[in-house]
Structure 1
Amino acid sequence: MSRETSLFSGRPSELVGQQIAGYRIEQEIGRGGMAVVYRARDLRLERTVALKLLAPELARNDTFRRRFTHESRAAAAIDHPHIVPVFEAGETDGVLYIAMRFVAGSDLRHLLDREGPLPPATAVRVAAQVASALDAAHDHGLVHRDVKPGNILVSRGTDSDHPEHVYLTDFGLTKKSLSLTGFTTVGQFVGTLDYVAPEQISGRPVDARCDVYGLACVVYEILAGHPPFLRDDDMALLWAHQYDDPPPLTEARPDLPPQVDPVFAKALAKRPDDRYPSCLDFVAALRAAAAGGGVVTGAAPARAGRQPGEERPKPPPRWAEPVFVERA
């Protein structure tokens, strides 16, 4: 079986035990449309890393390869507590790779699937940490363009006031220039449909406000249990992002104060000029709106099927579970 087949359509075990660029592959931990992520052992420094291997067809594109190398170095230069550190990026035997810190914990997608909607206080804490990471990237000229629960890792925090520590990952395929669109030079769309900004869909230039939109979609889902737009097919979903108003969050979360609805309406505005100028501005507005209603410490609503008055069991989060999943 060829290297290309074994990376992206073969059994996950086929690369286990093999060495690539000084890393011994131990286990597949994530798979998406353009990359596979493995837990691997750095044989030089004797540490565990997350090793991302990109699709072979990307490495064959000279323009993409140069941009990948340049932007990976730019991402590695960002020293921020909520951005997964990039240790190394390069090419070996025709395979582009990125070695990153391995985070022991869960991704937000896994957490939401398990726990359902989260309490407002948790949502604000998570949003603030992600917003801080995004704004730091923007300060370095990087636009993420694919903010989604699968790219947000949640690990154990330091104390009861900081019960979780959040990392943003997957900066290896960002756009360095603010004049570039949501498409890569090899014609692949960068973004996930539930969280994609209207300007990415239409191919217009993207900037930091594209990530404001994506973050708002994620935070909406944290609180509502689903993204702002639910449609039966992809084309209808793309249309909704471009032309439909998002439903008020309070329809799904009547326990939240009505002040949160205009906050999300602004963050999810169709025109970038009508959104908050930064991710932290959005989170600050959300925090103020939620606090004004006196519900920041309130509990999340029950899942469907819970009986009135019934206590919702809430086991302690399994933060130590060494899982994160990158979905396409």
Structure 2
Amino acid sequence: MESRVSVLNDNEKVPYVVSSKSYTAVAINCAAKAGEWIQSKLGTVKQLSTKTSAQDLVTEVDKGAEQMIRKLILTHFPDHAILGEEGVEPGSEAFAKALEDVKDEPYLWIIDPIDGTTNYVHGFPFYSVSIALAYKGEVIVGVVYDPSRDELFIAEKGKGAYVHGNPTRVSKEISLADSLMATGFPMDRSNTLNNMAGIHAVLPKVRDLRTSGSAALHMAYVAAGRLSGYWELGLKAWDVAAGALLVQESGGKVTDTEGRPYNLSVRNLVATNGAIHESILDTLSQAEATDFRKD
């Protein structure tokens, strides 16, 4: 049976119905093949470069994996646009321009070949391949693949989210005191005061806090109920587009740090099981830890 997704846009009176089966199959195939290749190169990185800072790493494996994914996507959908981390110059302005350049593209693939490159370089097994497909700005397919654990997280707009073929659901914690949260550190360490203020405010209120280094996997873990919530400042679309759909399709909530609905331009993000969302937003707001203005 063909899987179908209805996407209702502001300018449309009738939902636009797209077949998501082929899109999802291609996303899964791309993530699996890239993940397998990434694992085969583990421990063999020869060229290590930096982008915005000494902590913002890129390797020949990142670049090779992105090229592999691009070729596979364009083989099936030559008219689709692609926004990939390694195809955009570092910095906020370059990201904003890249997003502006593709704003009128009906179908946009958003890819991060290795989300968690620093972990990958050090052999710390918490990194992932993140692939999303947006239709007119709304994410309709999201795939996050963890090659270390061979875990594939899949979401289709309106059709739920799955890992190992089983539906994922967000956790049931209703108080911060019972919650396991995650966050991350901006790549540019020259301005981390807001990030540290957020940690300082949240940590005393929650059961514990994790900073494991892959936004996409943190989001997938929120979707699967392994984390109660996650927030981070200074992100980009390829970090979280797939994960945002995973969380939403698992019953959770995704906004910016001031409570506005998620869209591809959001860089300061909160994703939770929904029940603790307002509490996290309030905590960050009171700590004046909702914004990160410098790359």
TM over 0.5: no
Higher strand share: 2
Greater Rg by CA:
1
Higher relative contact order (CA closer than 8 Å, sequence separation 6+) = 1
